[in-house]
Amino acid sequence: MPYVQQIVAPKRDRKDGPVLLVEDSRTFASILSYRFREEIGRSVVHCASMPQLEETLKRGEQNYPIAVVDLNLPGSPHGEVLDLVIRYGIPVVVFTGSFDLGARERILDRHVVDYVIKDNERACDMIVESVRRALANRDVRVLLVHEPGEARDQLAALLRAQLLTVVEVATGEQGRTLIEINPDIELVLIGQHLPDMDGLQFCRRIRRKHGDDRLRVIGILPTADRFLSVGFIKAGANDVIYQPLLVEEVQCRVAHTIDTLSQMKQLRIAAASDYLTGLFNRRYFYMMGPDLIEKCLQTGVSCSMALIDIDHFRRVNDTYGNDLGDTILTGLATRMQQLVDMDQNLVARLGGEEFALLLHGMDGARASIFCEMLRQELAKLRFVAGAQEVSVTVSIGVAEIEARETFDNYLNAADQFLFMAKQSGRDRVFSDHWMRVMGEAGQSRRPQPFETGGDVLYLT
């Protein structure tokens, strides 16, 4: 099998810049500027004439991720405004009032992101959506599995014009390997004729492991054969596109597929998130926790479980009301997200005032030190109840995961140490590591400062 290199995402220097709006109509300029700011969160640099645009681009003060360009700008009788913006390497959505087949060819020959005709009651909606989608496309990876040739080159160019990150391979086996080592590939376009298998075989093989809720497949068919289309759909494809390619059809079908992926992603996030704090919820923690622990055990990476409970939280609710209680829960969750590496560790609200952490790469000693830092930082937070400031403390139980057991056993172990923290006065961290250190030192159950690996862990 040929060597397949892992994909490395390119740098996006223009990603966070303002939208360049080239439009002489005050009405359209005002509406679009407002909507870009309010709905997409992007500032706007507006140019109303060709000289103003030339001067703005020469100054080079901004990196524009995208431009919306009026094709019929005064001083640009033959679309010179479009050529000027493209020369600066800025992706373009064309906004035009006059349109015919000749104009269509001139626009599409320049590989624009999209075009929208002004003579449409939804024109502004379509422009905003096109810009939103183009900006989001920069984070979407597409795999093109197609035999080399003019058809693949044309399709790759159309996809890159949509600002998608595109990787091209020629064989089905290369495509399968890339999907396995790059789980963030979300869309695959597959040709029918490959050197090592046909498109139908490729679809069947990847569908054995990858559902269409995370990976969408579009078949590229050499003919409008309905039986072949049905075959692709039954094999696991989500859509098909016929050759010769029609630019607008490719744009629409790919955009629809990516929109569906985005909606599914939002549903997964909603299903996995705690409604109040935005942290992962109990269901997600129980679903993902065992897999993460198993990976740590297989690779020999240390990991620990921690349970966090807010001290006397019921008393806070009874004294100050549930609104302040919710504010405290949200504030603590936000601070935990700032302090915990969310890419490496799993943090969830299990319910009520209890949180759980699965700490990757931390044995009992390191996890105890980390949780003590977390305890101290959470105690610094202040919340306002009328004219009064309120603070809370937390108790934390930490258990190192050293062998394969049931997931409930790991949680129960951390819960036992959490119970000990509460019984000994709250506002402290208890762990199996602390118990060992205290036992070896012959000290009493009253926690005292001690050193671990060069770090001082204060258990008050």
DSSP assignment of 86-101? HHTT--EEEEES---H
* Omega cis (within 30) before 244: yes
- In this prediction, residue 15 carries a pLDDT of 66
* Third-level CATH fold of 139-272: Rossmann fold (3.40.50)
* Omega cis (within 30) before 222: no
What is the per-residue pLDDT across 89-144, written as a single tens digit (0 to 9) for each?
A: 999 999 988 788 888 988 998 999 999 999 888 999 999 999 999 999 999 999 99
Same fold, 19-135 and 139-272: yes
* Third-level CATH fold of 19-135: Rossmann fold (3.40.50)
Q: Which amino acid is at 416?
A: Q
- Residue 130 to residue 138: CA distance in whole angstroms: 13
The residues near 97 (Cβ < 8 Å, ≥ 6 apart) are 70, 72, 117, 118, 119
Domain boundaries, the chain: 19-135, 139-272, 282-457
- In this prediction, residue 443 carries a pLDDT of 53
- Just list the catalytic residues: 353
What is the per-residue pLDDT across 335-377, written as a single tens digit (0 to 9) for each?
A: 999 999 988 999 999 999 999 999 999 999 999 999 999 999 9
Of 306, 294, 307, 292, the C-alpha closest to 403 is 294
Angle at which helices 432-441 and 364-379 cross, to 10°: 110
Tokens of 352: 């009520």
Ranges of the chain whose pLDDT falls below 50: 1-13, 444-460
- In this prediction, residue 456 carries a pLDDT of 37
The β-bridge relationship of strands 354-360 and 346-351 is: antiparallel
- Residue 357 forms beta bridges with which residues? 306, 347
**Start-to-end CA span in the chain (Å):** 59
- Residue 270 to residue 255: CA distance in whole angstroms: 23
- Are 112 and 156 contacting, i.e. CB atoms less than 8 angstroms apart? no
Sign of CA dihedral 165, 168, 172, 176: negative
- In this prediction, residue 343 carries a pLDDT of 87
Q: Which residue has the tokens 């640099």?
A: 45
- Residue 186 to residue 165: CA distance in whole angstroms: 11
Q: How many CB atoms lie within 10 A of CB 165?
A: 19
Q: For the domain 282-457, what is the CATH code?
A: 3.30.70.270
